């Protein structure tokens, strides 16, 4: 049987204007056919749907927006967001060429937040995470990504403090 990631990529290339519902259906079919667990489903979604260019982060941000409803469905259960962010980290560090995505990783985290894929609480949990249970990348790379995400996290904290002040 062919690799489910390969199968989904092939499907997406063949059906360029496919709806999110159709993509979700294909993910369900592949998940059943290959007995994929939740983590494997999230990996497949990130690997196939989070497209990126080597010049800038715009292609990745566009694909996150385009498939946001699918990514949201993979951030609903306990720990889903942490698994999703681990695969996004892997994409930023290991799958893209050079440091383009790494240098703009705060844009990526902000996009995940703006699209309601990852909420404030999960974002902070990821940022402050000493929990390596979901981590795919090295501790050194994780530290660098968090340093690059700092402007966004700082903004998130300040927004949270302002909200607390309003209550």
Task: Please indicate whether residue 2 or residue 87 has the higher confidence score (pLDDT).
Answer: 87
Instruction: Give the N- to C-terminal CA distance of the chain in Å, as an integer.
Output: 56
CA distance 142 to 126: 10
Length of the chain: 167
Residue-wise pLDDT for 119-153, tens only, equals 999 999 999 876 667 889 999 999 999 999 999 99
Banded model confidence at residue 163, pLDDT cuts 50, 70, 90:
confident
- DSSP label at residue 157: H
CA distance 71 to 64: 8
DSSP assignment string, 72-138: HHTSSSTTHHHHHHHHHHHIIIIISSTTHHHHTHHHHHHHHHHTTSS-HHHHHHHHH----TT--S-
Percent of the chain with pLDDT over 90: 71
pLDDT digits (tens, 9 = 90+) for 22-47: 999 999 999 999 999 999 999 999 99
Q: Is the pTM of this model over 0.85?
A: yes
Position 16 confidence tier, pLDDT thresholds 50, 70, 90: confident
């Amino acid at each position: 049987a062919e690799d489910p990631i390969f199968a989904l990529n092939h499907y997406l290339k063949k059906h360029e204007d496919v709806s999110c519902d159709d993509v979700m259906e294909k993910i369900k079919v592949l998940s059943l056919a290959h007995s994929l667990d939740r983590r494997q489903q999230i990996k497949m979604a990130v690997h196939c749907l989070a497209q990126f260019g080597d010049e800038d982060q715009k292609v990745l941000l566009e694909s996150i927006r385009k498939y946001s409803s699918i990514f949201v469905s993979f951030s609903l259960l306990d720990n889903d967001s942490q698994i999703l962010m681990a695969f996004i980290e892997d994409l930023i560090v290991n799958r893209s060429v050079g440091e383009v995505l790494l240098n703009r990783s705060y844009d990526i985290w902000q996009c995940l937040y703006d699209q309601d894929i990852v909420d404030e609480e999960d974002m902070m949990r990821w940022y402050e995470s000493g929990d390596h249970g979901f981590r795919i990348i090295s501790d050194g790379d994780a530290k660098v990504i968090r340093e690059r995400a700092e402007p966004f996290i700082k903004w998130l904290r300040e927004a949270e403090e302002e909200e607390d002040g309003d209550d």
